[in-house]
Amino acid sequence: MPELQRLRPDHAPAVLAFEQANRAFFAASVPDRGDDFFADYPARHAALLAEQEAGVCHFHVLVDSGEILGRFNLMDATAGTAELGFRLAETATGRGLATTTVHRLFDLCRTRYALTTLTARAALTNTGSRAVLSRTAFVETGEEVTLNGERGVAYVRELGTPVA
């Protein structure tokens, strides 16, 4: 069973390999990250860890036998709310891993991060992410959003009271 791990410095090479291996797959449903993302990944990874250390974001990777299968991030955490973003490797899709992992994140949100509400956004064309959000009880807010020039939908999920 894949393990959800909090992002660490030693994850950098595997995360970069994951992003490179899945670049074309991701670009089919979300805007491409661009060449600069890959060229300067060590600095980007360090910046993510600094944000995490400051408590602004909580980054996670789904790992199986040392291979990154997915990234699950809680961004802009403030006043009990954060935005969920996630991506799963092409080879890992269709097995319920994203849905299961989002449910696991809900527990972390309540027990470790004191989050009561998650928001999310997905492009209209990103049917996979939209399906995961629906299966994990996110509700469309009715707010239309633009994600890198593409029309999208905003979602919200109430988590309840954090567990101390």
What pLDDT digit, counting tens, does each position of 33-68 carry? 878 888 889 999 999 999 999 999 999 999 999 999
pLDDT score of 31 more than 80: no
How confident is the model at residue 164, as a pLDDT? 65
Top CATH class of 3-158 equals alpha beta
Q: Break the chain down into helix, strand, coil percent, rounded to 5.
A: 40, 35, 25
For the chain, what percent of residues have pLDDT higher than 90?
82
Bridge partners of 112, per DSSP, are none
Backbone phi, psi, residue 30, to 5°: -140, 155
Q: Mean pLDDT score of the chain, rounded to an integer? A: 93
Average pLDDT rounded to a whole number, residues 24-28: 88
Average pLDDT rounded to a whole number, residues 76-94: 96
pLDDT score of 109 more than 70: yes
More confident residue, 139 or 30: 139
How confident is the model at residue 38, as a pLDDT? 84
Residue 144 burial (CB count, 10 A)? 10
Tokens read off for 79: 């006043």
How confident is the model at residue 83, as a pLDDT? 98
pLDDT score of 143 more than 90: yes
**What is the helix (H) or strand (E) element at residue 160, kind and residue range?**
none
How confident is the model at residue 28, as a pLDDT? 82
How confident is the model at residue 78, as a pLDDT? 95
Whose structure tokens read 């991030």? Answer: 73
